[in-house]
Amino acid sequence: MPPSLTQALPTILLPTLPEAQSPCATGALAGRKSATMQEQDSRREDDQLIARSQNGDPAAFDQLVVKYSPRLYGLVYNMTSNHEDTNDLLQDIWAKAFRSINGFRGRSSFPTWMHAIAVNMSINFLKKRGRRSHLSLDDIDANVEHDKEFMELTAGSTPVRETNLKELQKRLNEAMQKLSHEHRAVVTMFDIQGMPHAEIASILGISEGTVRSRLFYAHRQLQASLGEFHQN
Amino acid sequence: MNDDQLRALLRLKRYEQPPEGYYDRLLIQIRQNQRTELLRKSLWNIALDRFRTFFSSHNTPALRYAGATAGFALAGFLGLRMLPQDPPTATNPGGAEIAEAAPPAIAPSSPFPVPQAIQTTMPVQSHAPLHMHAQGQLQTQPQHTLLGDPWPPLEHLETLRSMQRTQAIRTSTSPSQSLPQRPQIQRSTRYIIDARPVSYEPSFSF
Residue type, B153: P
Which span out of A1-15, A196-210, B166-180 was modeled with the highest average pLDDT? A196-210
Phi-psi region of A121 (alpha: psi -120 to 50; beta: other; left: phi over 0): alpha
On whether both B193 and B124 belong to a single domain, the answer is yes
The answer to whether the CB atoms of A193 and B15 lie below 8 A apart is no
Residue B87 scores a pLDDT above 70: no
pLDDT (tens digit per residue) in B1-16: 788 888 888 888 888 8
Final residue before a domain boundary, out of B32, B63, B78: B78
Q: A188 CA to chain B: closest CA distance, Å?
A: 8
Is B17 inside a domain boundary?
no
B2 CB burial (10 A radius; 0-12, 13-18, 19+):
exposed
On whether both B71 and B122 belong to a single domain, the answer is no
pLDDT of residue B145: 46
pLDDT of residue B97: 45
Average pLDDT, integer, range B104-132: 48
On whether both B146 and B194 belong to a single domain, the answer is yes
Is B144 inside a domain boundary?
yes
Does the interface predicted TM-score (ipTM) exceed 0.90?
A: no
Final residue before a domain boundary, out of B32, B61, B78: B78
Is B205 inside a domain boundary?
no
On whether both B129 and B73 belong to a single domain, the answer is no
Is B33 inside a domain boundary?
yes
Alpha carbon distances (Å) from A55 to A97, B57, B130: 15, 18, 78
Residue B36 lies in domain: 22-78
Residue B128 scores a pLDDT above 50: no
Is B169 inside a domain boundary?
yes
On whether both B55 and B124 belong to a single domain, the answer is no
On whether both B122 and B194 belong to a single domain, the answer is yes
- Give the count of domains, chain B: 2
pLDDT of residue B11: 86
On whether both B123 and B194 belong to a single domain, the answer is yes
Band (A173; pLDDT cuts 50, 70, 90): confident
How far out from the chain centre does Cα B17 lie?
A: 66
On whether both B122 and B193 belong to a single domain, the answer is yes
Band (A130; pLDDT cuts 50, 70, 90): confident
The answer to whether the CB atoms of B8 and A17 lie below 8 A apart is yes
Is B1 inside a domain boundary?
no
Is B95 inside a domain boundary?
no
* Alpha carbon distance A129, B173 (integer Å): 87
Which span out of A22-26, A99-103, B149-153 was modeled with the highest average pLDDT? A99-103
pTM, full prediction: 0.54
Average pLDDT, chain A: 78
Q: Buried (b) or exposed (e) across B160-191, using 16+ Cβ within 10 A?
A: beebbeebeeeeeeeeeeebeeeeeeeeeeee
Q: Which residues of A touch B50 (CB under 8 A)?
A: 99, 102
Is B46 inside a domain boundary?
yes
Final residue before a domain boundary, out of B78, B95, B125: B78
Q: A213-218: which pairs have CB atoms within 8 A and are 24 or more residues apart?
A: A214/A182, A214/A183, A214/A186, A215/A186, A215/A187, A215/A190, A215/A191, A217/A183, A218/A179, A218/A183, A218/A184, A218/A186, A218/A187
The answer to whether the CB atoms of B9 and A13 lie below 8 A apart is yes
Band (A116; pLDDT cuts 50, 70, 90): very high
pLDDT of residue A196: 94
Give me the total of CB pairs closer than 8 Å, taking one residue from chain A and one from chain B.
Answer: 120
Disruptive mutation site among B4, B13, B46, B51 for chain A (greatest number of A CBs within 10 Å): B13
Q: Which residues of A touch B29 (CB under 8 A)?
A: 91
On whether both B136 and B194 belong to a single domain, the answer is yes
Three-point CA angle A118, B7, A132, nearest 5°: 45
**B151 contacts: CB under 8 Å, gap ≥ 6:** B140, B144, B157
